[in-house]
Structure 1
């Protein structure tokens, strides 16, 4: 008898649920490298699943059965369970629930429309997947900001600073005052403004071309009595970026903008946890995000990345 016929014979013996050597026969068939082994293993798994369902159903039936009935004896249950085991094997061998076919497609990687089993749960790849998602979100955000900056008939976003260095240098004196009142780091406030405006390259300007000096994305709510500018912005709904129009506060100077930022944070009860965590930069922004300051699910990570950058940390006032 050749190797293929031997493997087939071992698989046939493995199909008997009451054969003690069945699993060993299946193991030996796997070692032969026969292509039928994966299908057989999948059917065995399906048989176990079906058997578990039958066993659960029998337990429910036993709970309602008459204890004095001759059909409810331990001997009858013993042979009934053996019958259920073999029934499960026969069902899986003849198509069953279709679970075996799904397992073969996933593990065998024979169908290009099915994802390989190796990628279903690959913890080592999670960081890569998250990075790809972050890059796609960033691209979407940049696209919205760039398109918004091209508008000229209404408020729009445009550069207010020549480069990142000039942005940090101009903002630091005002950020230092704001940080002292909030009990946090001046460079942390600069990092937040950098994220909100793309290092000052996407600052809101009114229709006449005047800067709003709004570096923190503070919207004009009903309590705001000052000037405001309506512009396209990016909001996140369930992690998906969406383009919307919103009214933002307008200030006469950077100093006024930073002062209102401090007042906005300190006057809102929902941000009190953030103020209390001001000495811990990461916790400060985490509390702001959880309180609803930003809809971007990666807001804290983005701000902290800028905060740790050489441009911010390397600045010497």
Structure 2
């Protein structure tokens, strides 16, 4: 338990400690303040629910009402110490506090009142299963140039491109645009690579790890900076595989998948379907694909492959 916060509704010493903590740990303080604000909101909500009842029960009295109020106040603190109703998360986002997305579902007030012990067991089981299924993140390839970018990703890009019916360099160009030739792959707070090559966001359909990053979106052709959650992968190979699955599982990309015989048409259809908000997204990818850096990198890579084949043939 975090002793810096008020674990009990009447623990005013916890609030005093929180003031001192704010001087050295603003992020941790924002976490506690957000939870306490949610606690007050829940307390007000419960009070309104009580007032909406149809009168006093047979055994109710001033003393029982006093004890009930104490219970409701402590319940609101307990809820906020857990996942709560989601309000603390919204407040932390507004305050700019960066944190990993929690895997536990939101805890409803009704669930606590009706099935408190069952809910606690369920949450514990979910955390155990989540930890059992956690996989170690593989280190990123050493990419520091367009040549090393193409060399490191060619195999995975080639497999994904064949499945979609696209030229391999088309997917490499899209990944290059999204990541600056691999130099700006999103990282988690501890410095681990997300291996996310295509800027795919982590919405409610994504159950894996995620990373929160600032992104540039276009609203009516006006660039707006936002902080969004993106998918995290164990490797670049997994990123390519999920890219293919992501497109095939979304009906809105059907037209794009039917246009893969022409890379330029494919990216235009992808943009029109809402894959990216940048009005020049498709044109930028085509420019990268046809640009000098890509052509030089492809030429060098193909030369290395031909040389390797020749060496193996001579050895035979």
TM-score (norm 2): 0.50
TM-score (norm 1): 0.50
Larger radius of gyration: 1
